[in-house]
Amino acid sequence: MTTKQTFLGVNVPKPRVAFFELSSCEGCQLQILNNEATLLDFLSMVEIVTFREGMTEKSDEYDVAFVEGCITRKDEEQRLLTIRKNAGLVVALGSCACFGGVNQLKNRFNDLNWVKKEVYGDHPIDTQEAKPISTLIDVDLEIYGCPIKKEEVEDIVVNLILGKSIDHPKYPVCMECKAKSNICLFDLGEPCLGPITRAGCDAWCPSSRLGCWGCRGPAPEANIKQLLHICNEREIPMERVMDRLECFGGFSESIEQLRRTEGR
């Protein structure tokens, strides 16, 4: 790391940062570029050496690697191992990297050859079961969301540079939603995973009258049984709830248990 800045008169490092993508829509990387109001401030904190979304230059010398996307091919496994070898710190960026994301929906069919036939027809394609990057390498930090929230990334980067601890919220999205005085979507007959999903998004979807889909994964001590009870009381079909629980992969362990319990 090179020291080119100070904080309260103390020299602080300016880490060399690289962004990479595996199987993903690359929307999380675009989020970094989207908020122009603070982009220059963000860029002043780090030295970005590889970022295909925003520059043509690239380097294999970096301190921090932000990896977006899940693993779905053998060549991605090799690429990820190289990234881990080069980086002092690896950050899983977004739901795909953390949980498998929307891509992991294909896993539930339990027949990858059928999936390839349905999607690609007779065109051969190299693909395998979608997996989060932590199944292959050690991940130092996870940043949740689909897409990630740019302001959260900026706060985390500042904490990394200053050597401060990084603590994700221990409470669910519901608390952020109530703090914004939103109407509870259950009262409108809409399924919502806000009661069991990790906060940190500032109730992004519920504030737009869209029920939470759990892209940030389960909050600590998430009470899924109580959520199902609430949905049953409001006559929300189980399948609608299951669709949301399955969508991003964060609740995969709970889904397997539910299917065994429900005999699905």
Is residue 8's pLDDT more than 70? Answer: no
Q: Is the model's pTM score more than 0.85? A: yes
Work out the angle at residue 142's Cα, subtended by the Cα atoms of residues 137 and 148, and round it to the nearest 5 degrees: 130
73/4: higher pLDDT = 73
Is residue 3's pLDDT more than 60? Answer: no
Residue 243 pLDDT class (50, 70, 90 cuts): very high
To the nearest whole percent, how much of the chain has pLDDT over 90?
A: 72
What are the two backbone dihedrals, phi and then psi, of residue 157, each rounded to the nearest 5 degrees? -65, -40
CA-closest candidate to residue 145, choices 110, 107, 114, 176: 176
Q: In the prediction, which pLDDT does 161 show? A: 85
Mean pLDDT of 106-123: 89
Pairing of strands 2-7, 10-14: antiparallel
Instruction: Tell me which residue has tokens 């990297």.
Output: 97
Name the average pLDDT for the chain.
91
Is residue 9's pLDDT more than 70? Answer: no
In sequence order, the 6+-apart residues with CB closer than 8 A to the CB of 140 are 89, 90, 91
122/49: higher pLDDT = 49
The pair of structure tokens assigned to 231 is: 């949905």
Distance between CA atoms of residues 143 and 156, nearest Å: 9
Q: In the prediction, which pLDDT does 123 show? A: 87
Is residue 262's pLDDT more than 70? Answer: no
Residue 224 pLDDT class (50, 70, 90 cuts): very high
What are the two backbone dihedrals, phi and then psi, of residue 189, each rounded to the nearest 5 degrees? 80, 20
Is residue 42's pLDDT more than 70? Answer: yes
Instruction: Report residue 228 CA to chain centroid gap.
Output: 24
The pair of structure tokens assigned to 49 is: 């050496």
Mean pLDDT of 61-85: 97
H helices of 46-194, in order, are 74-86, 95-99, 112-120, 150-162, 173-179
CA-closest candidate to residue 20, choices 73, 82, 74, 72: 82
Q: Which helix (H) or strand (E) holds 82?
A: helix 74-86
Superfamily of domain 2-162, CATH level 4 = NADH:ubiquinone oxidoreductase-like, 20kDa subunit (3.40.50.700)
Q: Where are the domains of the chain?
A: 2-162, 173-262
Mean pLDDT of 217-243: 93
To the nearest whole percent, how much of the chain has pLDDT over 70?
A: 94
Instruction: Tell me which residue has tokens 């969508």.
Output: 247
Q: In the prediction, which pLDDT does 263 show? A: 52
In tens, the pLDDT along 134-180 reads: 999 999 999 999 999 999 999 999 888 888 889 999 999 999 999 99
Count Cβ atoms below 10 Å from residue 26 Cβ, excluding itself.
16
